[in-house]
Amino acid sequence: MALLCSVLCRSVAAQQMSRSDKIRIREAISISQKFGDKIWEGINNIPFAIILVTDSVEFMVNHPDPPPGFILCEKDTVLRADIFYRKRQYPVNWLATFPVNGTSCIVAGTPANTGRHSTAWIMTLLHEHFHQYEYSYPGYFRDVEALGLSNGDQTGMWMLNYPFPYDSIPVSEQYKKYTLALSDLIAGLDTKTFDPLFKRYRPERKKIRQLLKPADYRYLSFQVWQEGVARYTEYKFLELMGDYDPSKEIAALPGFISFSDYKDQLYRSEMKDLAGLELSEGKRVCFYSAGFAEAILLDKLNPAWRSLFLKDKFDIGRYSKKLR
């Protein structure tokens, strides 16, 4: 009898989310609740639904209607939510967001399996929560399909695999001219050199549009709009968190660095990629840093641009007359 009880106890323990993962998820949700609506009005009305993928089990939190196959494993006091589990189905290194049983859901591997320290992993959850915000807007998926880029693919994988001309020499050369001009412009954003730098940048941006086929430009603009602005959203959270005190439990986790230090790291990394990453090498990842920088530029050109984001989708160049 004692042996049976021991086996059952180990089984239950194996089906419970680790406390450190609960603490990280709680911190991301807390940051969103405190700062999210200052960046994107209404983002905290969207369920922060998560599937945490571990080596053998997946845990679901905050989903309003868990799909069949998920079993309640605990009523958790850390997250103040019910946690459900099932046998692992998704890759352990995924960081993605897509509909699960009608609700946009973050599907995330653990920090160890995704190669992220605690701070970066928390900010990635906020990045993905921004995607939940995008996807939950009425008509989003219909309007994405209307871009005419999927070529019949209903899985969404075209967003990753679209045949953009990354290896075209004319495209890569012009893209480099555009990103170098944008990099210099961001570096001079609050200086007397802004106007001449903008005059250099604007025609380089226009040349990219003129060089690309219409569908290819729609893809670039879509990726800048969706992924670049998501990366910018991480940075905006970090900007607002200047006086934010993380919980003692978060600060004590291995690999945690201050949000202030991570803000500086993120900015340097994106600006390095913007100026240095070759289109043929980075491919669609290049568009993250381009969108990051253009969104920062929009904060100067039109501080109200975020109010247009979901109403006029897929091309952030529409949010300022100076970019058209």
| Rounded-to-integer distance, Cα 75 and Cα 82, Å | 4
The candidate with the shortest Cα–Cα distance to 267, out of 178, 191, 189, is 189
Q: Contact at 8 Å (CB) between 56 and 88? A: yes
DSSP state of 138: T
Largest CA distance in the chain: 81
Q: Contact at 8 Å (CB) between 70 and 49? A: no
| Residue type, position 192, single letter | K
Q: What is the pTM of this model?
A: 0.92
| Rounded-to-integer distance, Cα 15 and Cα 73, Å | 7
Q: What does residue 53 show for φ and ψ, rounded to 5 degrees? A: -100, 115
Q: What is the pLDDT along the chain (324 residues), one digit of tens a residue?
A: 444 333 333 444 457 899 999 999 999 999 999 999 999 999 999 999 999 999 999 999 999 999 999 999 999 999 999 999 999 999 999 999 999 999 999 999 999 999 999 999 999 999 999 999 999 999 999 999 999 998 887 777 899 999 999 999 999 999 999 999 999 999 999 999 999 999 999 999 999 999 999 999 999 999 999 999 999 999 999 999 998 989 899 999 988 999 999 999 999 999 999 999 999 999 999 999 999 999 999 999 999 999 999 999 999 999 998 887
Q: Contact at 8 Å (CB) between 133 and 99? A: no
User: Encoding tokens for residue 33?
Assistant: 């609740």
User: Encoding tokens for residue 45?
Assistant: 């009305």
